Amino acid sequence: MADERGRIVVSGVTKLFGSVRAVEDLSFTVEPGAITGFLGPNGAGKTTTMRVLLGLAAATAGTATVAGVAYARLPNPGRVVGAVLESTSFHPARSALNHLRVYAAAAGIPDGRADDVLALVGLTAVARQPVKGFSLGMRQRLGLATALLGDPRILILDEPANGLDPEGIAWLRGFLRHLARDEGRTVLVSSHVLSEVEQTVDSVVIIARGRLVHEGTLDELRGRGAVSVVVTSPTPDRLAEALVPLGASVSSGPEGALRVTGATAAHVGHAAWQAGVELHGLRQESSSLESVFLELTEDSAPPPAEPPALTP
């Protein structure tokens, strides 16, 4: 299958750190030609999932494949997958250009490509400066440049917008869109803030406490939100009485209005008309994407701990 080359498949992955379940029976698929957001609160298991996917951590159960095979079995992975995990993977004393040359050598990529990717992310001016003087935004760009060294079909980026200013986020958005939509690459970006990637991604995989809570397009995510009707009337008490037969729940809304959930605007309008109640306003509202995201990810159970950090 042609698509196989750009597809990421996570299938039933569980990862335990001691007795802590960081990821539990997680399955999802990422297709090429689009940007997929990998969302969840901090500690939901995003980085752990990516580490399993990239062969850095062994899954306790389940499998993850990139381009049809386990990452560790890719013959020259740098040419297939470009990945950045939490953009802090630099030796502080090494210059940006030398950093890229170190990894270009490992992947068998000509040194000239290091200059190319630096230009691509706009870091040519600081190529010979040590990374320790770089801002978080510059480190993000250098991480991206490292991922792009091998001109990979698949990009896996962990929190790439973290630390970028609004201008940087707009640049990243345009850059990733170009890579995914114009060039047909697979782009998976993680974030703990939906609004950060809302305008960038085509579809989302949302996890919470190590489990999948949603996989699909942003519209499908919106559709999971509760619809409510905000209705205003000079006689709210009579209106509330008239709405009882609908079986919907009625609460007080903004500025003396009533908020009705579990019924459409048409139902509410009809019930008011039948009871002869005067209406001054009637509108249907769906909850914002952000609130749907929060509802899905903010359930009662406490989030699992992150894997024990290695303290250098």
Residue ranges that bind another protein, judged by CB under 8 A: 51, 54-58, 71-74, 77-78, 81, 83, 85-86, 88-95, 98, 101-103, 105-108, 146, 309-312
CB nearer to another protein: pick between 9 and 56: 56
Distance CA 136, CA 167 (A): 14
Question: Of 103 and 171, which CB lies nearer to another protein in the complex structure?
Answer: 103
Judged by CB, which is closer to another protein: 89, or 284? 89
Tokens of 204: 């989302």
CB of 137 to another protein, least distance (A): 18
In the complex, least distance from residue 165 CB atom to another protein, rounded to whole angstroms: 24
CB of 67 to another protein, least distance (A): 13
CB of 211 to another protein, least distance (A): 21
Three-class DSSP labels, the chain: CHHHHHCEEEEEEEEEECCEEEEEEEEEEECCCCEEEEECCCCCCHHHHHHHHCCCCCCCEEEEEECCECHHHCCCHHHCEEEECCCCCCCCCCEHHHHHHHHHHHHCCCCHHHHHHHHHCCCHHHCCCEHHHCCHHHHHHHHHHHHHCCCCCEEEEECCCCCCCHHHHHHHHHHHHHHHHHCCCEEEEEECCHHHHCCCCCEEEEEECCEEEEEEEHHHHHHCCCEEEEEECCCHHHHHHHHHHHCCEEEECHHHCEEEECCCHHHHHHHHHHHCCCCCEEEEEECCHHHHHHHHHCCCCCCCCCCCCCCC
Identify the CA nearest to 40 among candidates 215, 217, 166.
215
In the bound complex, what is the minimum distance in angstroms from residue 190's beta carbon to another protein?
Answer: 15
CB closer to another protein out of 105 and 244: 105
Q: Whole-number minimum distance, CB 308 to another protein, in Å?
A: 9
CB closer to another protein, 94 vs 192: 94
Q: Are 40 and 207 in contact (CB under 8 A)?
A: yes
Shortest reach from residue 192's CB to another protein, in Å: 19
Gap between the Cα atoms of 29 and 188, Å rounded: 10
Q: Of 57 and 180, which CB lies nearer to another protein in the complex structure?
A: 57
Work out how close the CB of 225 gets to another protein at its nearest, in angstroms, rounded to a whole number.
Answer: 37
Angle between helices 236-243 and 265-275 (to 10 degrees): 110
Closer residue to another protein, CB minimum distance, 105 or 294? 105
User: Please, which residue, 91 or 283, has the CB nearer to another protein?
Assistant: 91
